[in-house]
Structure 1
Amino acid sequence: MDMVSDIEELVTCESPSTDLAAVAASADVVARVGTRLVGAEPERIVVDGRTHLRWRFGDGPARVLVLGHHDTVWPLGTLATHPFDVTGGVMRGPGCFDMKAGVVMAFHAIARLADRAGVTLLITGDEEIGSPSSRALIEAEARGCVAALVLEASADGGALKTERKGGSWYTVRAHGLAAHAGLEPERGVNATVELAQQILAVNELGDDALGTTVTPTLLSAGTTTNTVPALGEVAVDVRARTVAEQERVDAAMKELTPVLDGAKLEVLGGPNRPPLETTASADLFARASTLAAELGLPPLTSTAVGGGSDGNFTAGMGIPTLDGLGAVGGGAHADDEHVLVSELPGRTDLVAALIADLLEGTAK
């Protein structure tokens, strides 16, 4: 299958998000494969050293935005331990599922369109680290579109992702006062103890009933074992299903105050990705379900997931957004990352049909 060899070409060019040269090299490969398949070269957009690729089809305004990314979480050298392989209909290799197969599917789907006018394909190079250099680009390309289709990998069983939690990231930094831990600890202000109090407070901000999680994660404090710590910090990961919950937690984080006399507190960070709420995806999922039936594909399923994607940004703008349209398989970010090869043709047919349907609808 041509699609498999195209995916192999992308997977065998490693592209960890944090390695700018590797991402640039990957962009060259993606551009080459894409140009061959859609018959047009992309614009290369470099922001803060990170390479993104954009194809705009037609001379009129964009109506459908197709989104993907070519960066991965896997460090250089992973191919030595996780080589590209297809055995028994199962494809393996770093980034095959998340989401280089989806990038190739986007190319093949667009290549099948009789009329591509109104389609924009944007393949970014920093999604896995929160899209710091591409968010403005994504939002600019989405503006005015009737839909954003995200070729991120599917959820379990091929389910489309019709809801994604929004993500906020914080650093809570405690400033204390150093002192000798044995001779005169009472003269110090212990940043570790201050952080312990703050961690307990932060841990209470979640709401199980609403699906809001507030999780203290990476922790560091102190300099030596016999010194009262003068500085410490903890990272906090927040996931929320609604904008209201994201804003509630943000306000609570910014209202944290020191507990120990003499301690000072900084709260850095805030919301990164807004939620992709079900209201943003419901109509598109219904449309896709109808098309799947017409194509003779199995009934589509949907699910809500905690992880974010670039679809959160488009949904946050009020653009109808459908996510998880990419490969069927599993093991994203894990050693068992894989793609079910047999699912690639039907899924690509669905994406092509959905783009065509949306374009036809806007032309009426």
Structure 2
Amino acid sequence: MTDSYKFISQNLENIRKDLISLVQSESPSSEKSLVDLTGNLIKDIIHNRLGDNYICTEHKNRETGNHLQFEKKEDTKPRILFLCHFDTVWKKGEIPLRFEEDVFYGPGVFDMKAGLLSSIWAINSLENTLDKLPISPVFLFTSDEETGSLTSRELIEEVAKTCDAVFVMEPAEGKTNALKTARKGVGMYELHVQGISAHAGNHHEDGVNAILEIAYLVQQLQELTDYTKGTTVSVGTISGGTTSNVVPENASIEVDFRIASLDEADRIMQTIEQLTPKNPLAKLTIAGELNRPPLERTEANQQLFKLAKNAGKKLNIEITETSVGGVSDGNFTSALGIPTIDGLGIPGDGPHARHEHIRFDLFAERCALVAELCIIFGEKFVNHDDLVEKEEKFITK
């Protein structure tokens, strides 16, 4: 096994302590005070494990948790962005923390506090086993991913543009432990129909039924799903009307769509935005957008995956890839053309579920995988011609 693997294996008790303290520090997205307390804990972990050679920039927010950025004082090439979030979907005290042999259950342990911690320990292992780091690590730990990254997206894109690759420390795929080399993009729309109210008995013919109009639209929207293209459109909520004896004047629906390519996103968005009510007396209002672009299997991303497979060979583990429907902040960085690889976190299962857990017995090898990928990436970067386009960085001549 590699030196990084040996170092991490020898420090599993310290890693366990760090992880317990990080998961115990609950950080629901909507609780700024709790999220910021977790941020302070992360600062302590960085200081304890990596020393004073990392500068912390705290990006403060008024209503959501602050975002944390750490960089080495001496910045060298290549720069790798370790992209993580430390907010969770769980309310404080909602699910317990417990160990069962090598399985660790707890709020946010899988999504994605274990992955965040493993990025720190991967660099810690390199700091302690190499004379010089092969890369310049940039840690960006955000606090609002679970609520759409509304305050962090601009920061993520800004920092990512200064980096040569992005390692997303979201967990590996639950059933196969595969890395995530493709993710669907997601968009959301709200459609509102205003009809005309009338007495359902005396003046039914004078009304324009908004619920009926919404029902026509629901059928059109659901028919946009095309599994062969990886496109799903789902009307998730519907509301309308007041009482049964009134022709309903208002009705609304919320729509979620997932797509595998930007071309398909354009098609779906154009179709939705061109919808019209069946009754010309009804008024339709449409509002929405593409919240996250898809993370596509670009050539740059695939070259990065090949390097991860080579890193796996050094650890005698087979690295596979998969595509998933869920999104991450890696969707943003990949859409910018920056080589991005996702799913480098710790294997387990149960994201957003009460049985959320990680396999702690796999922590050492998956953390070492990240360390070895840093080494291979650094060697590849140094020995390759400097190319203007990041997407071309790893294209073999």
Q: TM-score, normalised by structure 1?
A: 0.94
2:56 corresponding residue in structure 1: 42
How has the CA–CA distance of structure 1 residues 207 and 48 changed in structure 2, closer, same or farther, with 3 Å as cutoff?
farther
How has the CA–CA distance of structure 1 residues 318 and 144 changed in structure 2, closer, same or farther, with 3 Å as cutoff?
same
Aligned mates of 2:247, 2:33 — CA distance in 1: 42
Indicate the SS of the match to 1:183: coil
Whether the 8 Å contact between 1:157 and 1:329 is mirrored in structure 2 is: no
Q: Which aligned pairs between 1:97-246 and structure 2 lie closer than 5 A?
A: 97-114=110-127, 115-116=132-133, 118-155=136-173, 156-246=175-265
User: Do residues 272 (structure 1) and 291 (structure 2) align?
Assistant: yes
1:263 corresponding residue in structure 2: 282
Shift in Å at residue 281 of structure 1?
Answer: 2.4
Whether the 8 Å contact between 1:89 and 1:340 is mirrored in structure 2 is: yes
User: Do residues 95 (structure 1) and 108 (structure 2) align?
Assistant: yes
How has the CA–CA distance of structure 1 residues 62 and 139 changed in structure 2, closer, same or farther, with 3 Å as cutoff?
farther
Whether the 8 Å contact between 2:182 and 2:295 is mirrored in structure 1 is: yes
Aligned mates of 2:144, 2:136 — CA distance in 1: 25
Whether the 8 Å contact between 2:79 and 2:164 is mirrored in structure 1 is: yes
2:365 corresponding residue in structure 1: 346
How has the CA–CA distance of structure 1 residues 65 and 224 changed in structure 2, closer, same or farther, with 3 Å as cutoff?
same
1:67 corresponding residue in structure 2: 83
Q: Which aligned pairs between 1:275-290 and structure 2 lie closer than 5 A?
A: 275-279=294-298, 280-290=300-310
Query: Which of 306, 314, 319 is matched with 1:294 structurally?
Result: 314
Shift in Å at residue 62 of structure 1?
Answer: 6.6
Number of aligned residue pairs: give it. Answer: 360
Query: Which of 36, 59, 67 is matched with 1:52 structurally?
Result: 67
Indicate the SS of the match to 1:112: helix
1:335 corresponding residue in structure 2: 354
RMSD: 1.6
How has the CA–CA distance of structure 1 residues 227 and 61 changed in structure 2, closer, same or farther, with 3 Å as cutoff?
farther
Aligned mates of 1:26, 1:179 — CA distance in 2: 55
Shift in Å at residue 355 of structure 1?
Answer: 2.0
Aligned mates of 2:155, 2:78 — CA distance in 1: 14
Structure 1 residues 27-63: Cα deviation after superposition (integer angstroms, max 9, x where no partner): 2222222222222352211235321110122335772
Shift in Å at residue 231 of structure 1?
Answer: 1.7
Indicate the SS of the match to 1:30: helix
Shift in Å at residue 348 of structure 1?
Answer: 0.6
**Seq. identity, %:** 39
Aligned mates of 2:37, 2:243 — CA distance in 1: 43
1:22 corresponding residue in structure 2: 34
* Corresponding letter in the other structure for 1:309: S
How has the CA–CA distance of structure 1 residues 166 and 9 changed in structure 2, closer, same or farther, with 3 Å as cutoff?
same
Aligned mates of 2:147, 2:309 — CA distance in 1: 32
Aligned mates of 2:123, 2:285 — CA distance in 1: 48
Shift in Å at residue 357 of structure 1?
Answer: 2.6
3-12 or 311-320, which deviates more: 3-12
Indicate the SS of the match to 1:182: coil
How has the CA–CA distance of structure 1 residues 189 and 97 changed in structure 2, closer, same or farther, with 3 Å as cutoff?
same
Shift in Å at residue 292 of structure 1?
Answer: 1.1
Q: TM-score, normalised by structure 2?
A: 0.87
Shift in Å at residue 338 of structure 1?
Answer: 0.9
* Corresponding letter in the other structure for 2:99: V
User: Do residues 12 (structure 1) and 24 (structure 2) align?
Assistant: yes
Aligned mates of 2:367, 2:350 — CA distance in 1: 20
Shift in Å at residue 25 of structure 1?
Answer: 2.1
* Corresponding letter in the other structure for 1:42: C
User: Do residues 252 (structure 1) and 268 (structure 2) align?
Assistant: no
How has the CA–CA distance of structure 1 residues 255 and 285 changed in structure 2, closer, same or farther, with 3 Å as cutoff?
same
Shift in Å at residue 266 of structure 1?
Answer: 1.2
Whether the 8 Å contact between 1:62 and 1:120 is mirrored in structure 2 is: no
2:92 corresponding residue in structure 1: 76
Aligned mates of 2:57, 2:111 — CA distance in 1: 23
Shift in Å at residue 173 of structure 1?
Answer: 1.2
Aligned mates of 2:193, 2:92 — CA distance in 1: 35
Shift in Å at residue 212 of structure 1?
Answer: 0.6
Aligned mates of 1:139, 1:27 — CA distance in 2: 21
Shift in Å at residue 130 of structure 1?
Answer: 1.4
Shift in Å at residue 319 of structure 1?
Answer: 0.8
- Structure 2 unaligned residues grouped into runs of 5+: 1-12, 384-397
- Structure 1 unaligned residues grouped into runs of 5+: none
Whether the 8 Å contact between 2:194 and 2:210 is mirrored in structure 1 is: yes
Indicate the SS of the match to 1:232: strand
Structure 1 residues 174-227: Cα deviation after superposition (integer angstroms, max 9, x where no partner): 111222333323222211111101111111112121111111111111233332
Aligned mates of 2:294, 2:114 — CA distance in 1: 25
Aligned mates of 1:201, 1:324 — CA distance in 2: 35
Aligned mates of 1:246, 1:284 — CA distance in 2: 25
Aligned mates of 1:2, 1:72 — CA distance in 2: 23
* Corresponding letter in the other structure for 1:97: F
